[in-house]
Structure 1
Amino acid sequence: MDKLSHALRGLLPRSLRMRLLVFLLAAIVLAGAVQGALAYRSALDEADALFDYHMQQTALALRSGLPVDAQGLGPGLDPEDENHEFIVQVWTNEGLRIFESAVGAALPQIAVLGFTNVQARGGTYRVFSMQTRSQVIQVAQNMAVRQGMARSLALRTLAPLAFMAPLLVLAVWWGVSRSLAPVERVRRQLAQRQADDLSPVSDAQLPDEVQPLVSELNLLFERVQRAFEAQEHFVADAAHELRSPLAALRLQLQGLQRAGDDAARAAAIERLSAGIDRATRLVEQLLTLARQEASSTATEPVDLRAIAQLALADVAPAAQARSMDVGLLDSEAATVPVIVRGSAEALRMLVRNLLDNAIKYTPPGGQVDVQVGTDHGRALLTVEDSGPGIAPEHRERVMQRFVRDTADGAPGSGLGLAIVQAIAQRHGAAVALDRSPRLGGLQVALRFG
Structure 2
Amino acid sequence: MNSIRSRLLIWQISALLLAAVIAGALTFLLARRGFDQVRDYGLQQIAHSVLRHDVTPMPSLIGAEAATTPPSSDSETPITPPVAADTEEVDADPDEGQFVSQIWSPSGELVFSSLDDDGPTLQHAGFHQTQWQEQTWRTYTAKGNGRVVQVAVSIQDRDSAFYELLPGMLVPMVLLVVMLTLMIHEAVKRALRPLDSLRQQIGQRAVSELHALDTTDLPIEVAPLALTLNQLLTQLDQLLVSQRQFLADAAHELNTPLAAIKLQAQLARRAPSGEREASLNELDAGIERAIHLASQLLALARLEPDERTPQHSEVNWHEIVREVVIRLSPLAEARHADLGLLRCEPAVVMANGHELRAMLDNLIDNALRYSPPGAKVDVDLVTHGGQATLTVSDNGPGIPKDQRERVLQRFVRLHPGDTTGSGLGLSIVKGIIDACGGALQLKNTPEGGMTACITLPLIKSSHG
Identify whether the pair has TM-score above 0.5, normalized to the shorter chain: yes
2:431 counterpart (422, 443, 448): 422
How far is 1:145 from its partner? 2.5
Q: Structure 1 pair 216/118, CA: closer, same or farther in 2 (3 Å)?
A: same
Aligned partner of 2:268: which letter?
L
Identity within the alignment, %: 35
Q: Structure 2 vs 1, CA of residues 236 and 167 (structure 1 numbering), >3 Å: closer, same or farther?
A: same
Q: Is contact 1:40-1:155 (8 Å) kept?
A: no
Q: 2:267·2:279 contact (CA, 8 Å) conserved in 1?
A: yes
Cα displacement string for residues 118-138 of structure 1 (whole angstroms, at most 9, x for unaligned residues): 444564432233455843321
Q: Hey, what does 2:256 align to over in structure 1? A: 244
Residue 145 of structure 1 aligns to a residue whose secondary structure is helix
Q: Distance in 1 between matches of 2:125 and 2:340?
A: 115
Q: Letter of the aligned partner of 2:376 in structure 1?
A: Q
Would you say how many aligned residue pairs link Structure 1 and Structure 2? 430
1:374 deviates by 6.9
Q: Find 1:142's aligned residue among 150, 154, 164.
A: 154
Query: What are the within-5 Å matches in structure 2 for residues 12-161 of structure 1?
Result: 13-64=1-52, 66-71=54-59, 74-75=83-84, 78-82=87-91, 84=94, 85-100=98-113, 102-104=114-116, 106-111=118-123, 114-121=126-133, 123-132=135-144, 134-161=146-173
| TM-score under structure 1 length normalisation | 0.83
Contact 1:44 1:154 in 2 (8 A): no
Residues 84-93 or 276-285, more deviating: 84-93
CA contact (8 A) 1:125 1:140 kept: yes
Of residues 48-57 and 369-378 in structure 1, the stretch that sits farther from structure 2 once superposed is 369-378
> What are structure 1's unaligned runs of at least 5 residues?
1-12
Write the distance in 2 (CA, Å) between the matches of 1:148 and 1:164: 26
Pick from 368, 371, 377: which aligns with 1:359?
A: 368
Tell me the alpha carbon deviations over residues 60-80 of structure 1, each in whole angstroms, 9 at most, x when there is no partner.
444456321443653566243
CA RMSD in angstroms comes to: 3.2
Matched, 1:192 2:200: no
Distance 1:430 1:205 in 2: 44
Conservation of the 8 A alpha-carbon contact between 1:399 and 1:418:
yes
378 and 191 in structure 1: CA distance in 2 versus 1, 3 angstrom threshold? same
Distance change in 2, residues 1:383/1:56 (3 Å): farther
- One-letter amino acid matched to 1:242: L
List gaps (5 residues or longer) in structure 2: 62-81, 458-464
Residue 259 of structure 1: CA displacement? 3.4
Off by >6 Å, runs of 4+ in structure 1 = 374-378
Q: How far 1:90 sits from its partner (Å)?
A: 1.1
**Counterpart Cα distance in 2 of 1:60 and 1:301:** 101
Superposition deviation, residue 289 in structure 1: 0.9
Distance 1:75 1:121, change over 3 A: same
Tell me the residue number matched to 2:279. Answer: 268
Please state if 1:444 is matched with 2:452: yes
Cα distance, 1:221 vs. partner? 1.9
Shift of 1:229: 1.0
> Does residue 326 of structure 1 match 2:339?
yes
For 2:119 and 2:395, the matched residues in 1 are separated by 128
Q: Radius of gyration: which is bigger? A: 2
TM-score (norm 2): 0.81
Deviation at 1:146, TM superposition (A): 1.0
Measure how far apart 1:187 and its partner are: 0.7
